[in-house]
A and B are shown apart, each in its own frame.
Chain A
């Protein structure tokens, strides 16, 4: 009887440990998701800001740096027809080192309206998104598109800054 009682206790203890571990993992995942969502929400920050009620000292301004965001531009992209995994060269230049992450959103014009074909994760300075997966394959032809580049300031809770739209021609063959 004592052995059975001990087994039940052991099982109960193990179950408790597993539950605590699962709760901890869920909590950490939630924190990470919240951080990324906050970075992308853009509700509390923008590229042009007025902080009223402050003394006016530059020390009070903790939001944004004065250095500009460097963006590499292109006019054309080439994709193979019928493929979703394609090569691209979406670069965050080294000049943004220590200052800005970039995200890239490729919007293609089909039937007169723009639809999102690809959205990247945060790309660190000096790195690039090279192999990307499109939301759907494209047929052979030429497409008008816009590459929307959104920078996030590294130092301040990944706050979004002013951004850029790069018109691009996608050539699919």
Chain B
């Protein structure tokens, strides 16, 4: 009977050695021990993103020398405390040009003049706000000083976000 008991004990010991045994550590549970708890960190970083709609084109004619366009930001998702700033620059210094000459034009934002070399943002959206917009007004005149010949004159604006 003692031999039988010893055999049972040895069998039980053999079974236990086959079970995974690990010391409890961060995030690891020891299966053979009593109730334990552990924790792991779960995180997910979400990048900032936004959608901006810029004026594709501004076209003046002899009878239409003031044109309005809108600049819009939507689905704005920024880091806390961050701002979305939109700036504008002109390829030709706010002059529409061709081989014959040039025609100057101006731009106003929400009724305010924008100097040619301005580094002021024309639209700002703060983190927490989902959207923003600005009204851009473009205007031009054919002055005697800069008499232009008939034809097409062009410039390109770059909106930097």
Q: What is the CB-to-nearest-CB distance from B68 to chain A, in angstroms, rounded to a whole number?
A: 10
Bound together, the chains give a CA A164 to CA B71 distance in angstroms of 12
Q: List 15 A-B contacts (CB under 8 A).
A: A44-B154, A46-B91, A47-B156, A48-B96, A48-B155, A48-B156, A49-B60, A50-B105, A50-B153, A52-B103, A56-B61, A68-B71, A71-B51, A95-B53, A164-B159
Q: Which residues on B sit within 8 Å (CB–CB) of A97? A: none
Q: Is the CB–CB distance between A74 and B53 below 8 Å? A: no
Q: Is the CB–CB distance between A163 and B48 below 8 Å? A: no
The chain B residue sitting closest to A53, CB to CB, is B150
Q: Is the CB–CB distance between B154 and A48 below 8 Å? A: yes
Bound together, the chains give a CA A71 to CA B51 distance in angstroms of 6
Q: Total interface residues on A, using CB and 8 Å?
A: 46
Knowing A48-B157, A49-B96, A164-B161, the reply to whether A71 touches B52 (Cβ < 8 A) is yes
The chain A residue sitting closest to B149, CB to CB, is A52
Bound together, the chains give a CA A61 to CA B67 distance in angstroms of 14
Q: Is the CB–CB distance between A68 and B56 below 8 Å? A: yes
The chain A residue sitting closest to B87, CB to CB, is A165
Q: Does A131 contact B (CB under 8 A)?
A: no
Q: Which 5 A-B pairs have the closest CB atoms?
A: A56-B63, A53-B150, A64-B57, A46-B154, A161-B56
Number of cross-chain contacts by CB at 8 Å: 166
Q: Does A122 contact B (CB under 8 A)?
A: no
Q: Is the CB–CB distance between B142 and A52 below 8 Å? A: yes
Q: Is the CB–CB distance between B57 and A42 below 8 Å? A: no
Q: Is the CB–CB distance between B57 and A63 below 8 Å? A: yes
Q: Does A137 contact B (CB under 8 A)?
A: no
Q: Is the CB–CB distance between A47 and B51 below 8 Å? A: no
Bound together, the chains give a CA A33 to CA B57 distance in angstroms of 26
Q: Does A66 contact B (CB under 8 A)?
A: yes
Q: Which residues on A sit within 8 Å (CB–CB) of B155? A: 46-49
Q: Which residues on B sit within 8 Å (CB–CB) of A48? A: 57-59, 90, 96, 105, 138, 154-157
Q: Is the CB–CB distance between A153 and B56 below 8 Å? A: yes
